[in-house]
Amino acid sequence: MTGEALIQLAKTRPVLSDGAMGTMLQEYGLNAGACPEIWNVEKPEAVRAVHAAYIEAGSRITSTNTFGGSRLKLAAYGLADRVAELNSAGANIAREAAGAENSVAGSIGPTGEFLEPLGDLSFDTAADVFAEQSEALASGGADVILLETFSDLQEAKAALAGALRTGLPVFCTFAFDTGGRTMMGLDPVKAAVEMSKAGASGVGANCGVGPDQTLEVISQIRNATLGIVIAQPNAGLPRIVEGRTTYDSTPEEMAEFAAKSARLGVNIIGACCGSTPQHIRAMAAAIEGFHAG
């Protein structure tokens, strides 16, 4: 499903996205701190299995295993020269799993660096870095570009400027904390207004907090924009159990979140860290048959 077709569908009823990728790959053996994107070429069958599990559970959108796939993030693993290869491969894997009837969102996360004047990264350089990754995702079959887990408005705008060079629709989600702001102090209304003005087709919240706090933030975003609104919370708050990070929201609790989001007018509903196909299956059932308006 093309990006424009996805947007039109999401205006008529909520569309279900997928859940976590990183924590799912850890179940397949990805070590904490390792580079997930390298698995797009070294263990594509595991990445494909995660996508397929979410599609089978009811996802209509699957996000590529490329969150940290920018040149600046890959440099930490000595992989800065493999941006095109790893991102294109990630999009290809997702495309195969999604099929023509579902959409592929090219996932892009922050660079991990501060833009000027707080840091050394210029707006134009950042835009070029994001454009490089976006173009590789588009060439691999992405239908939309999804900028995820941003906290700084200027970096998000640079990412948007770079991603728009592909000609694909671009969505952007921010990570808000329990106080309703991002780590950089950005509030939901300003995020929605500024990114919509800059050309984003959709704005929302992901990661950061669990479903209850996300509902509070997403209601503000829904009131601030006429565009597509996206909600993808973590499956609750993380806890360490026997040395492993676990999340405390059950599939039933995430299903309740999905139903409440649909009633708020959220267009794209999914989940983030700690979520599984079981969560997504419950969410799919909760919003089945729901129509906007």
Mean pLDDT calculated for residue range 69-73: 98
Q: 122-153: per-residue pLDDT in tens?
A: 999 999 999 999 999 999 999 999 999 999 99
Closest CA to 19 of 92, 83, 107: 107
The pLDDT score that the predictor gives to residue 201 is: 98
CA 23 to chain centre: 14
What are the pLDDT digits (tens) for 37-67? Answer: 999 999 999 999 999 999 999 999 999 999 9
Band of residue 291 on the pLDDT scale cut at 50, 70, 90? confident
Gap between the Cα atoms of 213 and 30, Å rounded:
29
* Amino acid identity at 230: I
User: Is residue 26 predicted with pLDDT exceeding 70?
Assistant: yes
* Residue 112 pLDDT exceeds 70: yes
At 154-178, the pLDDT tens digits run 999 999 999 999 999 999 999 999 9
pTM of the complete model: 0.96
The encoded tokens of residue 97 equal: 């799993």
Mean pLDDT over 85-104 rounds to: 97
What was the pLDDT predicted at 90?
Answer: 98
Euclidean distance between CA atoms 149 and 67, whole angstroms: 9
Residue 242 in this model has a pLDDT that exceeds 80: no
- The average pLDDT across 85-91 equals 98
The predicted pLDDT at position 243 comes to 65
Write the burial class of residue 27 (CB in 10 Å: 0-12 exposed, 13-18 middle, 19+ buried): exposed
For residues 181 and 184, what is the distance between their CA atoms, to the nearest angstrom?
8
Q: pLDDT-derived band of residue 236, with 50, 70 and 90 as boundaries?
A: confident
Residue 230 in tokens: 């996206």
Secondary structure of residue 206 in the 3-state scheme: strand
Query: Residue 237: its pLDDT value, please?
Result: 76
- Per-residue pLDDT for 101 more than 90? yes
Question: So what's the pLDDT on residue 246?
Answer: 74
Three-state secondary-structure class, residue 110? coil
The pLDDT value given to residue 293:
59
Average pLDDT, the chain: 96
pLDDT at 278: 97
